[in-house]
Structure 1
Amino acid sequence: MPGNLSTAASPAADTSNGTAAAPWEAPAFTVAARCRVAATLVLFVFAAASNLAVLISVRWGRGYRLAAHLRPLIASLASADLVMTFVVMPLDAVWNITVQWYAGDAMCKLLCFLKLFAMHSAAFILVVVSLDRYRAILHPLDSLDAGLRNKRMLLVAWTLSLLLASPQLFIFRAIKADGADFTQCASHGSFRHGWQETAYNMFHFVTLYVFPLLVMTFCYTSILTKITGQMHKSKDGERCLRRSGKDQIPKARMKTLKMTIVIVSSFVICWTPYYILGIWYWFQPSMIQHTPEYVHHILFVFGNLNTCCDPIIYGFYTTSFRADLADVMACCRCRRRRRADGDSPRSVDRLSARKAGAAGEMESDLSSNPHSGNV
């Protein structure tokens, strides 16, 4: 399928990589592909707006009141989702529409590199978030160094994403089909033997999915084990979520833990079916002839749904983000009302000031809790 940029990141059915059975037929813009494009564009609009809103809230809005060591994590996660949104989704949609590749050899290499970079960065940043929660719950005395530690781990995550995606620059190129006016961006001819391509695919499957999944599973299993042990030790059946105590978890920290568990769960749920199909295809390429086309399209779109889930989950667990959205909506309503009623700018400004003041008081009450930032 033309929407699959890389044999590692998009394992499902690339008929241009030399594994398709003869006779060769040029792919077409089918009904299933049209549905994929429509769904991708809808996800693009929502993911772009929601992740930009999260990034703006964390950098310049009330989200700036989050704990200092958490802000870079949330901002990096939103940034990785935005790379997926602005690189992977539009390219996938356009490539499915044009069917073949028209952008030339340099763009083929660059965009294949960017796609794998985006997928690696999203997975590795979730690993950093999991490690941060692991240290915060199991080693709370190390919280003073959390900011510096998180910045270093984020630097490693972004650097590894660049390094692991760099082979795409050498493997993929624009290839013209023999005896046909058809050009495709593919990895055909880059591997001498089939097992080499399979090894390359499996390596990136491990770095994109298996390694992050193992680390996240270890972190949250350890965290839940400690929480369970504390609950068993508590007297009178009370939960160990009080705001004080040497061996008890603060309520705000527990809330952040729940949010990260849900974010990680959405990553696993959205991408697992796609990678399972990829493993099947890598070891048995003939399966493409027996699997309905719409299955590949649905699983890829379902994986991209993860970029929309992260801001929704963040908004559900974060009061400051919802307050920022409420301010924006109130401002939009005031402008519409001014246009409809012809109100003077001063009266509208006074109304906006009153609403902003009320929202600020609410946020001040929430932030007055001495444990609200202890996450």
Structure 2
Amino acid sequence: MSDNWSVVSLSSPTHSVATPPPNNSQFPLADWEAPSFTRAAQFRVGAIFILFLFAACSNLALLVSVWCGRGRRLASHLRPLMLSLASADLMMTFVVMPLDAVWNITVQWYGGNVLCKLLCFLKLFAMHASAFILVVISLDRQHAILHPLDALSAHSRNRRMLLLAWSLSLLLASPQLFIFRAIRVEAVDFTQCATHGSFSRRWQETLYNMFHFTTLYVIPLLVMSCCYSRILLHIHLQHLRDRAGESYLRRSGTDIIPKARMKTLKMTVVIVLSFVVCWTPYYLLGIWYWFQPDMLRITPEYIHHALFVFGNLNTCCDPVIYGFYTPSFRADLAACCHRTESDASLRSPDRPSVRQGPHSSEHETDPATNNQAAGD
């Protein structure tokens, strides 16, 4: 059992990347062992299934809330950011997670050549989109804090950055359509979706993997770190000037960084940190493999599975973090649960229907009206 730790198939199941043996007479075919659905892989599938259920429900709820619920009261330039983040997380949820689970169970590839290319392309596309949208959010927060008077152009600027993020994700994932294919080895009756034969030398595949590692993780991390470092430096300088009693720190009697904007900043910082914390261990283990393939014999198999599951936990974190900082999202969830309970009560033959009074929770003031957590 092995994992090719290729960024081109970062979310591939651990056993599935035990690719077919090279088609040459020097390879000892008898020594090649086909992968199997081990106990560690079974744990991975179970954990991915739980994450899938939670991520699907929470991200769909976030998408609905921002699109047509109380979340639509967000500032016009923030709504596309949160909609894009939820959409990217849903792509990870409905493409990466089910494919990973099914591939672990079947061990071989039964989807044919077209699905092999398409699904590997969609996996990398979803991973790039998720990382790049976090970059766009970081750039937006930097501009909002450093240039607070330039809010009128934020909507069009964010739309351009989001278009660029999705377009780059599409472009960078497109090589998957050419290097992946379904390969069948008749001698061992084994079919796999792999990059076998697409690279004539190992260093070429390593270089390709390192390129995507850079675009998926290193560059987004550097840009986000730069953005928030500049924000923290700006806030620190503002505090120093405030202590010095400089009058221009106040505009119309309010702080230069309003509470709503500061709360949004804290939310985005936590979202970025969750991305870094969840995916860093898996990427580091991947780098170790690319330069020392023998590490697979050193590290237990369950570690590879556990780190991939931990990375996918990031998809579940975003709606939880958004809900923690956004009362409107919590209010939408509470209203949905209340309607579900009311419908269940009406359908129950043992319980009489109860009319809602004027002081019921349905008539409570919407928290988003009084405190919009994701202000501007």
Same structural fold, with TM-score higher than 0.5 when normalized by the shorter chain:
yes
Match for 1:79 among 78, 87, 93?
Answer: 87
Q: 2:352 aligns with which of 336, 339, 343?
A: 343
Work out whether 1:110 is the aligned partner of 2:129: no
Structure 1 residues 241 and 250: alpha-carbon distance in aligned structure 2, compared to 1, 3 A threshold: farther
1:356 match: 362
Aligned partners of 2:3 and 2:18 also within 8 Å: no
Which sections of structure 2, spanning at least 5 residues, go unmatched?
none
1:182 aligned partner: 190
CA offsets, 1:216-257, max 9 Å, x none? 0000000001111112222399xx998855872111000000
Among 302, 305, 313, the residue aligned to 1:297: 305
**Residue in 2 that maps onto 1:193:** 201
SS of residue matched to 1:188: coil
Match of 1:98 among 87, 92, 106: 106
Closer, same or farther in 2 for the Cα pair 1:326/1:158, shift >3 Å?
A: same
Distance between the aligned counterparts of 1:80 and 1:187, measured in 2? Answer: 25
Tell me if structure 2 keeps the 8 A contact 1:5–1:115. no
Q: Say which of 54, 63, 69 aligns to 2:71.
A: 63
Residue matched to 1:254: 262
**Alignment-derived partner of residue 8 in structure 2:** 8
Tell me the CA shift for residue 285 of structure 1.
1.4
Task: State the alpha-carbon separation in 2 of the partners of residues 55 and 61 from structure 1.
Answer: 9
Contact 1:6 1:168 in 2 (8 A): no
Partner of 1:124: 132
**Contact in 2 for aligned 1:5/1:185 (Cα 8 Å):** no
Q: CA deviation at 1:193?
A: 1.1
TM-score, normalised via structure 1 length: 0.90
**2:311 matched to 1:311?**
no
Of residues 163, 172, 179 in structure 2, which corresponds to 1:171? 179
Offset at residue 141 of structure 1 (A): 1.6
Residues 49-60 of structure 1 aligned to structure 2 (within 5 Å): 49-60=57-68
- Identical residues among aligned pairs (%): 63
Moved more, 40-49 or 291-300: 291-300
The answer for the alignment partner of 1:39 in structure 2 is 47
Q: Is the 8 A contact 1:263 1:310 kept in 2?
A: yes
Alpha-carbon distance in structure 1 between the residues aligned to 2:254 and 2:230: 18
Query: Where does 1:254-273 land on structure 2 (aligned, <5 Å)?
Result: 254-273=262-281
Superposition map of 1:197-212 within 5 A: 197-212=205-220
Q: Residue type of the partner of 1:164?
A: L
Q: Distance in 2 between matches of 1:190 and 1:30?
A: 29
State the one-letter code of the partner of 1:328.
Answer: C
Report how far residue 354 of structure 1 moved: 3.9
> Can you list the C-alpha shifts for 1:321-352, whole angstroms capped at 9, x where unaligned?
001011011112222333344434xx44x459
Other-structure match for 1:133 = 141
Q: Are 1:130 and 1:219, in contact at CA under 8 Å, matched by a contact in 2?
A: yes
Tell me, in whole angstroms, the C-alpha distance in 1 between the residues paired with 2:80 and 2:336: 23
Distance in 2 (alpha carbons) for counterparts of 1:358 and 1:88: 40
2:47 alignment partner AA: A
After superposition, the Cα gap between the structure-2 partners of 1:134 and 1:245, relative to the gap in structure 1 and judged at 3 Å, is: farther
Cα separation, 2, equivalents of 1:181 and 1:263: 45
CA, structure 1 residues 7+319, in 2 after alignment: closer, same or farther (shift >3 Å)? closer
Question: In the TM superposition, what is the alpha-carbon distance from 1:366 to its structure 2 partner?
Answer: 3.7
**1:69-112 deviation per Cα after TM superposition (whole angstroms, max 9, x unaligned):** 00000010000000000000000000000001011011000000
Write the mapping of 1:17-28 to structure 2, written as runs, cut at 5 A.
23-28=31-36
Distance 2:128 2:148 in 1: 29
CA-CA distance at 1:289 after TM superposition: 2.0
Deviation at 1:353, TM superposition (A): 8.8
Q: Is the 8 A contact 1:17 1:187 kept in 2?
A: no
The alpha-carbon deviation at position 312 of structure 1 amounts to 0.2
Q: Which residue of the partner structure matches residue 323 of structure 1?
A: 331
1:217 aligns with 2:225: yes
**Is the alpha carbon distance of 1:318 and 1:80 closer, same or farther for their aligned partners in structure 2, counting shifts above 3 Å?**
same
The aligned amino acid for 1:15 is A
Distance 1:283 1:159 in 2: 31
- Which residue identity does 1:256 align to in structure 2? T
**Aligned partner letter, 2:107:** V
Cα contact 1:131–1:219 (8 A) shared by 2: yes
Q: CA RMSD in A?
A: 2.6
Structure 1: segments with no counterpart, 5+ residues? none
One-letter amino acid of the structure 2 residue matched with residue 101 of structure 1: W
SS of the residue aligned with 2:256?
A: coil
Shift in alpha-carbon separation, 1:332–1:351, aligned structure 2, 3 A: farther
Cα distance, 1:2–1:148 mapped onto 2, change above 3 Å:
farther
Amino acid at match of 1:192: S
TM-score by length of 2: 0.90
3-state SS of 1:179 partner: coil
Task: State the SS of the aligned residue for 2:209.
Answer: helix
Aligned counterparts of 1:364 and 1:343: Cα–Cα separation in 2: 34
Contact 1:3–1:95 (CA<8 Å) still a contact in 2?
no
Q: Match of 1:141, SS?
A: coil
